[in-house]
Structure 1
Amino acid sequence: MDITNTPTPLALTKEDTIEELNDVTRLMIDSFKGYKDAADEADDSWALKADFDQRATVRSRHIAAIQNYVRELGGEPSTHGTMRGAVHRGWMNFANVFRDDEKGAIESVENGETFLAHRIEDCIEDGQLDAVGTQLLKQAHQDVCSSARHFDRLDG
């Protein structure tokens, strides 16, 4: 999917950008929390735990940048994840009781990153973002895709 040259509609408003950025921010917060939970599940592997923690830190930087831009636009940034994300993390915690915790954590993160990458692509392609919002999401998208590929290799 080519998200490098996305057209922008003529009637774009600040509210459109704020709404789209907040929607993605909620999912990114879910992702951040997923990384923190995965780090907790990776107790036996210091390297994997460090990897999850490092990716959570990077994700939090993208979240902060988007939240700051929403404030600049005069909006109230999202500060909480989604109910879907909370349910997913709860299910993964329950499911991990019955299998290898690290493998389950990797699968959960990989699935979450793939979902987030697609949602960011959709948001960019919808054309409801201004230039700065688009750039912020393109940067986040690169990070998310890199993480998804990384965990796909670990899972394979």
Structure 2
Amino acid sequence: MNNDEIISTLNDLIETSKDGEKGFKVCSEDASGRHPELKAMLAERGRECASAALELQELVRNQGGDPETSGTLSGDLHRAWTNIRAAIVGKDDETVLNECERGEDVAVRVYRKALEQELPTHIRLVVERQYQGVLRNHDVIKVLRDQVRAHA
């Protein structure tokens, strides 16, 4: 894998992390006040995504590239759709968590695709660690969604 391909892969991950940061922020804001711990957890997940993006941006700079600084158009469209849907359906916690899970599904796919590449060892270790965090986020969101659904 050449250096340009490494930078491109890392920039894809940065965009995904930025999408996660923004998505979790929106979900935290949209979650009902009935579960303050849910709002706090979603906000924390957003901060973790921001931290992941910063770490990836540093890797891109170390490779001599220009790191992405924003999310993807599809992430923006997803958040817009989430806001429209919430306005129509209402911002119940199950709907919010469904949207979070949908966003995490995308993150899982992007990280898996990156890990299929021939990345240098030091970069692979970072990507693998972050991927494990994405999987944890996905699993936590799914469990919370199922709990909220069971208590509805």
CA contact (8 A) 1:22 1:78 kept: yes
Quick one: distance in 2 between partners of 1:78 and 1:64? 10
Question: 1:24 maps to what in 2?
Answer: 13
Aligned Cα root-mean-square deviation (Å) = 1.2
Superposed CA deviations along residues 94-123 of structure 1, whole A, max 9, x for unmatched, are 101123412221111111112211211111
Runs of 4+ in 1 over 3 A off after TM superposition: none
In structure 2, the gaps of 5 or more residues are 147-152
Once the two structures are TM-superposed, the CA of residue 126 in structure 1 deviates from its matched residue by: 2.7
Give the alignment of 1:1-156 within 5 angstroms.
12-44=1-33, 45-101=35-91, 102-127=93-118, 129-156=119-146
The 3-state SS of whatever aligns with 1:97 is helix
Identity %: 24
Structure 1: stretches of 5+ with no match in the other structure? 1-11
Specify the code of the residue in structure 1 equivalent to 2:125. Answer: Q
2:11–2:67 contact (8 Å) kept in structure 1:
yes
TM-score, normalised via structure 2 length: 0.89
- Secondary structure (helix, strand or coil) at the match of 2:88 reads coil
TM-score, with structure 1 as normaliser: 0.87
CA distance in 1 between partners of 2:95 and 2:23 (Å): 12
Question: Deviation at 1:58?
Answer: 1.2
1:4: which partner in 2?
none
- Relative contact order, higher structure (CA 8 A, sep 6+): 1
Alignment length (residue pairs): 144
